[in-house]
Amino acid sequence: MIFDLFENLKNSNKCEAVSRLIAMSLPKKDFFLLVIASVLMASFGLILENTAVVIGSMLIAPVLYPILSFSMGVSMLNGKLIQNSFYTVLKSIVFSLIIATLVSAFVPGSVDFVSNQLFANMSPSWLYLIVAFTAGFSVSYSLVKPELSATLPGVAVSVSLIPPLSAIGIGMGQLNWEIVRASSLLFLINILGIILSAVLVFSLMSMHKECKVADKAIKEGEKIIEKENEKK
């Protein structure tokens, strides 16, 4: 039965996945440094109409992990994990929009949204929801299966999170509200698909039984953030 794939999992693997996911979702300085780098790459890739650069930005973007952490918090009904993950995602979005808007403002001339095929691909479609759901399903399952961890970068590319955020910022900088609207809708569709599938997978895996592991990882994460803040 297919449900055996979710039930016959080692507790050690589940505990490790919970701890690793929470650690990768911490709002640390290096996390936001990667967010900024990925947004810069995505913004210039979109403006230059360079698909390879945009794909590269999607590989280094860490925003997927706090979204998965948020989903795990929902499946566990863990309010602290939900709150912390939401804060990281929200701060990432704000940083991304500021960086992309600044890039757009300093690029000489206006961006040709009509001829640029990458911006044309930002047109929202509910088919993207299916793609995001499938990708979220795959990455959530892979997190708990160490032998499948090599597939995570490929899944990250299939989930379009940073490019729409960059497109929103560029649209704001160029005062193109149609691009802002379309990119915002695409971004929300992708997040919705990931959250729905991840909550489903984590629920099928009975990850709620690992609440103690999550609470411990959250406390350890808070200590790390406190130490970073003390060094300022």
pLDDT tens column, 2-17:
556 666 677 777 888 8
Q: What percent of the chain has pLDDT over 90?
A: 34
DSSP summary character for residue 108: S
Task: Give me the numbers of helices (H) and strands (E) for the chain, helices first please.
Answer: 12, 0
Domain that holds residue 125: 9-215
- For residue 186, is it within any domain? yes
- For residue 3, is it within any domain? no
Tell me what pLDDT residue 109 has: 67
The domain tally of the chain equals: 1
- For residue 165, is it within any domain? yes
72's tokens: 């795990």
How much is the pTM?
Answer: 0.89
Q: Burial-class residue 196 by CB neighbours within 10 Å (0-12, 13-18, 19+).
A: middle
CATH code for the domain in which residue 172 is found = 1.20.1080
Q: What sign does the dihedral 192-93-104-32 (CA atoms) show?
A: negative
Sorted by sequence, the CB contacts under 8 Å of residue 115 that are 6+ apart come out as: none
**Cα–Cα distance, 96 to 108 (Å, whole number):** 20
Nearest to 89 by CA among 122, 56, 64: 64
pLDDT tens column, 77-126:
999 999 999 999 999 999 999 999 999 888 766 677 767 778 877 777 88
- For residue 209, is it within any domain? yes
Tell me what pLDDT residue 70 has: 95
